[in-house]
Amino acid sequence: MLGHLVYDDLIARGKKVKTARRWRSWVNRFEACCGAKREYDRSDVIRYLSWMRQQGFSDDSTAVMLRPVRLLAQVQGWRFPRLALPKVRDSDVRRPVFSYREVCEIIERGKHVLSERELAYLALATTYGLRREELADLKVGDGVVTVDTVKGGVVTTHRVPEAIKPYVAGYRPAGITYLSLVFRRMISKLGLVGREGYGWHSIRRALVTELVSCEAPLLSVLRFMRWSNASLKGQFGMVAIYAVHNQADIDESIFQLHPFLPVWRNEVRGERSESIGTSPLTSGEVAAIMKPQGVISILLPPILGTSEKPCAQNPGHVDVSLGDNPKFCGPAQPPDGWRRVAANGPPPPSNLSSRRLAYY
């Protein structure tokens, strides 16, 4: 098949094997659609473009998948036709992203319903914001994970935090198509609906969003997320190129602010108040907050529908309920190091990423 021509050209010019393989597969699709020829013309390219439209590819994906065909034209020596394709504006590109609350719920539910291998993928994706291509072929060693970064980035070795070490053991390399299937299977197991267009990159966007919102140093975020030096140079000029960085130090600083590691450690963490509003939590969500503590040491968020009264069975405790939901019993006094927030009192400090817990 003609894909090997493009593959050999890319490898000869020093491109990554993963990139060469992906472009080869796209050229093979073009050949399957238009037949094997020594030279193609405008009608062939239009036929391939029509096929992509019928398959439902977006304008952005269509433009990307035409690039290998352009290279094939150069290699074979025929002229790629000029096409009046619609200009893809940045605002037209869909970039689905999970909210902080959604990622936390995915992790909590996933611990109960996902397989060992699926949990490994989820732990790595939520910790490092891995692209699908990166997640496919990691090198997992003793306390470290090496990422063969795509899109021009350098190979990066990250430290594995203690919170996800038990889950990383289940990791197995996989093809990118298989990983897409795994993601959709996970979404189905977790009972999430209306997630067309979502993928591993939706988790990556969520992680970036949260790190920026908690004011992590921007250069550290870019290094941690493995953007290429060209991207960094665009943001910081030659400072990004000349500045010596220690990836272990960057990892440590990001882990201190990481939004999802506390969930893997079974710790309670705050929620953005604007994503909750006045909607009561369900009893399942309450249980998810309390259960990891071993004992119910944290009461419900002070939101509409919450009520409490002294517990008849456990002196010093209170029964807390949300409307018609089941009651939960918790200590009336806050644990050591925690402070009570009255239901009608002020919100907690903003640096708690504020879920407005009953204690903080």
When pLDDT is cut at 50, 70 and 90, the band that residue 135 belongs to is very high
**Percent of the chain having pLDDT more than 90?**
44
pTM score over 0.75 = no
Beta strand 156-159 pairing with 306-310: unpaired
pLDDT for residue 343: 35
Residue 200 confidence (pLDDT) above 90: yes
pLDDT for residue 89: 55
- Give tens-digit pLDDT for 222-261: 889 987 766 565 555 555 555 657 899 999 999 999 999 9
pLDDT for residue 94: 61
Ordered DSSP codes for 166-211: HHHTT-----HHHHHHHHHHHHHHTT--S-TT--HHHHHHHHHHHH
φ and ψ at residue 310, rounded to 5 degrees: -55, 140
Q: Which residues contact 119 (CB under 8 A, 6 or more apart)?
A: 110, 111, 167, 170
Buried b / exposed e across 116-140, counting CB within 10 Å, b at 16+? eebbbbbbbbbbbbbbbbbbbebeb
317 vs 251, residue with greater confidence: 251
Domain boundaries 100-264, CATH class: mainly alpha
pLDDT for residue 316: 59
pLDDT for residue 204: 94
pLDDT for residue 53: 85
pLDDT for residue 243: 62
Q: What is the mean pLDDT of residues 125-154?
A: 88
**Per-chain mean pLDDT for the chain:** 74
pLDDT for residue 85: 63
Q: Let me know the angle formed at the C-alpha of 125 by 119 and 130, rounded to the nearest 5 degrees.
A: 145
Contact present, 249 and 276 (Cβ < 8 Å): no
Q: What is the mean pLDDT of residues 317-339?
A: 47
Q: How far apart are CA 265 and CA 302, in angstroms?
A: 24
When pLDDT is cut at 50, 70 and 90, the band that residue 299 belongs to is very low
Residue 21 confidence (pLDDT) above 50: yes
Contact present, 216 and 204 (Cβ < 8 Å): no
Residue 297 confidence (pLDDT) above 60: no
Q: How far apart are CA 251 and CA 264, in angstroms?
A: 17
For the chain, the domains span 3-92, 100-264, 275-352
CATH architecture of the region 3-92:
Orthogonal Bundle (1.10)
Q: What is the mean pLDDT of residues 61-68?
A: 87
Residue 356 confidence (pLDDT) above 80: no
Q: How far apart are CA 230 and CA 233, in angstroms?
A: 5
Q: Looking at mean pLDDT, say which of 80-84, 300-304, 306-310, 318-322 comes out highest.
A: 80-84
217 vs 90, residue with greater confidence: 217
pLDDT for residue 360: 29
3-state helix vs strand vs coil in the chain, percent to 5? 50, 10, 40
Handedness of CA 31, 34, 38, 41 (dihedral sign): negative
